[in-house]
Amino acid sequence: MMPRNQPLATSAGDPPPHGGMMREQRYYQAYGLTIASDVALPELEPAEPAAADILIAIGTIDMPKPSSEAATIFRFESDRQYLAWHAVGAFLISDASRIDIEPAPGVDDALLAFPLLGPVMALLLHQRGLLVLHASAIAVAGSGAIFMGDKGAGKSTTASALIRAGHELLTDDVVALDLARPDAPMIVPGFPQIKLAADAAAAISLDQAELRPQVHPAIEKVQHRLHGAFSGCMVPATGIYVLERGTKAAITPLPGIAALPAIIKFSYVTRFGRAALSDDFAALHLRQCSAIANHVGVFRLEVPTGLDRIGEAVALIESDLAASFRQR
């Protein structure tokens, strides 16, 4: 945790871009925001040049860098958050509207995008007042299904099986919820990419999906850039499913006493510990998690072991969401 008397600082806007080369500024759309970026982000939807909600700039960050022994440095303040990985680079979020990046030597845009569009973007969205879950989300006939779970539980695999069944991706890995109306949470669409393990990708083929090159030998999941099967509109959050492996497909409602801890556990900001919830954000975060637990059904979803049986879970989810839609 960063001491309160140690200010964060950056000079990223002053010197030439990293490596001394001028970079083309590109414009994208994601999470309902216009992004102007020095980093090429083909994962995102391109947009026309416009006033940017988020600026992503390459340059020098005047902050300590992690060593190979201490591979990461995370420091948090109410208006600035600093995340640095020795093997990738340093990222400084300022005022929930700017991300400065100093890449590690030899790191290209594809590897920068991996943390940038994951934990860095998640923290920025959190700073903008959204509740962010480490999850995947699918639009199913006007309803939004969110899939949470521990690593390897099958969040992206279940989401991709629903895409194959004719439904649309809302977002993968970073699920942002708009609680402007706490009694009617809305899922904000991210961008049309889903990451799948090799065995899942082989078993669940996605039409009109472009396989992106492997980012790094240590990153096993393959990025699938969708061309179609993506919902660009906000969708009401109808069901949250906590995935577990089981012998058969089954959905069981979680009581309120278990629903709230599950949402807190899988909210993205809690991955960084209490230090990331500075000042009034801890109270806001609890209110947001409580609103979700009170107004969205939270369920335990058992997914049968074996990719050849994923269709059983898909059929059960479709039926459950249809029943929830009729009750609204």
Q: Stretch 68-85: mean pLDDT, rounded?
A: 92
Q: Is the alpha carbon torsion for 324, 266, 124, 105 positive or negative? A: negative
> Which phi and psi angles does 279 have, rounded to 5°?
55, -125
Domain 131-327 sits in CATH 3.40.50.300 = yes
Q: Is 226 helix (H, G, I), strand (E, B) or coil?
A: strand
Domain boundaries along the sequence of the chain: 18-127, 131-327
**pLDDT tens-digit series, residues 140-157:** 988 999 999 998 888 889
pLDDT in tens, 309-326: 889 999 999 998 887 755
Please say if the pLDDT value at position 3 is more than 50: no
- The reported pLDDT for the residue numbered 241 is 96
Indicate the pTM of the whole model: 0.89
pLDDT (0 to 100) of residue 327: 59
CA quadruple 213, 126, 15, 35: dihedral sign: positive
Query: What's the burial of 136, exposed, middle or buried (CB within 10 Å: 0-12/13-18/19+)?
Result: buried
Inter-residue contact 133 to 267 (CB < 8 Å): yes
